């Protein structure tokens, strides 16, 4: 993917960090300029340095999934600082259990 700097528009990460978005910016393919909140959340929860280290350790084809996971977890943590994505998972598990309990008499 081309760096967003080729369009003279820094990626959301470089804009947030107030630095020039260079060709080859590791953030550019995953944090487009039109999604500034995505990077802001990831930065707030994980820190730009930690995300850079993580992305550099991954193979290029693994990075998009990693960023999507980080973004999901960061957004969940911003919404629910105590439980984060675990709160959403627990809620869904309780819903599944409740529905299974409703269906159990029908299966007998």
Query: What pLDDT was estimated at residue 5?
Result: 42
Domain count across the chain = 1
Q: Measured between alpha carbons, how far is 23 from 38 in angstroms, rounded to an integer?
A: 21
CB 11 within 8 A of CB 42: no
Q: Which domain holds residue 51?
A: 4-82
Note the pTM of the prediction, 2 decimals: 0.77
Question: Is pLDDT of 87 > 70?
Answer: yes
The answer as to whether 87 is a domain residue is no
Query: What pLDDT was estimated at residue 9?
Result: 86
DSSP SS3 for 83: coil
Question: Is pLDDT of 6 > 90?
Answer: no
The answer as to whether 47 is a domain residue is yes
The answer as to whether 35 is a domain residue is yes
Question: Is pLDDT of 70 > 70?
Answer: yes
Task: State the DSSP H helix or E strand holding residue 42, giving kind and residue range, or none if neither.
Answer: helix 36-46
Query: What pLDDT was estimated at residue 7?
Result: 53
Closest CA to 51 of 34, 37, 71, 77: 71
Query: What pLDDT was estimated at residue 106?
Result: 85
CB 11 within 8 A of CB 21: yes
Distance between start and end Cα atoms, the chain: 55
The answer as to whether 68 is a domain residue is yes
Summarize the confidence of residues 72-97 as an average pLDDT. Answer: 94
The answer as to whether 41 is a domain residue is yes
Q: Measured between alpha carbons, how far is 98 from 5 in angstroms, rounded to an integer?
A: 50
Q: Counting every residue, how long is the chain?
A: 108
The answer as to whether 102 is a domain residue is no
The answer as to whether 53 is a domain residue is yes
């Amino acid at each position: 993917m081309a760096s967003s700097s080729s369009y003279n528009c820094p990626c959301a990460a470089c804009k947030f960090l107030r630095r020039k978005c260079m060709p080859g910016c590791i953030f550019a393919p995953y944090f487009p300029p039109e999604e500034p909140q995505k990077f802001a959340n990831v930065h707030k929860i994980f820190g730009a340095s930690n995300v850079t280290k993580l992305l550099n350790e991954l193979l290029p084809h693994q990075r998009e999934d990693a960023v999507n996971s980080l973004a999901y977890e960061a957004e969940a943590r911003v919404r629910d600082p105590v439980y984060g994505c675990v709160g959403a998972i627990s809620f869904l598990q309780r819903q599944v259990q409740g529905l299974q309990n409703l269906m159990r008499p029908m299966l007998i």
